[in-house]
Amino acid sequence: MDKRRIFKVTSVVVALNAIACFPAISMTKAAKIDAMKLYNKHCSACHDKKGKPTDFGKELETTDFTDKNWQSNTSDEKIIKQITDGTNEKMMPFKEKLSVNEIGALVPVIRNFAKK
């Protein structure tokens, strides 16, 4: 590899890094703004707009997010894992529908259901 070629490769890497970092930043902002919208769109069919199981959700034994006991026995990591991977035959995984940042933004939404 001569010096000019090394320079070329380096600038490609720098350019790729810039592209890779930029959407991550703007997505965090978007996810913060839209977390409630995401919840209503993807989760409320089973979990209700207030965090309680819907009639459909009850059949699947959906978790009640307003339950303070459940909240205090659940870590943020567990919530993230549940949204990412789901539960077989009960809740679908969201890892292909939502970004890591969007999933993270849903944690405070779920936590908020018990604060009343």
**Contacting residues toward ligand HEC, per CB under 6 A:** 42-43, 45-47, 57, 60-63, 74, 78-79, 82-83, 87, 90-91, 94, 106, 110
Q: Rounded to 10 degrees, what is the CA torsion of 83, 35, 43, 107?
A: 40
CA quadruple 6, 9, 15, 17: dihedral sign:
negative
Closest CB 3 distance from ligand HEC, rounded Å: 51
Nearer to ligand HEC, 28 or 84 (CB): 84
Minimum CB distance to ligand HEC, residue 70 (Å): 6
How near is the Cβ of 57 to ligand HEC at its closest, in Å?
A: 6
Indicate the length of the chain as a whole number.
116
* Cβ atoms of residues 65 and 51 within 8 Å: yes
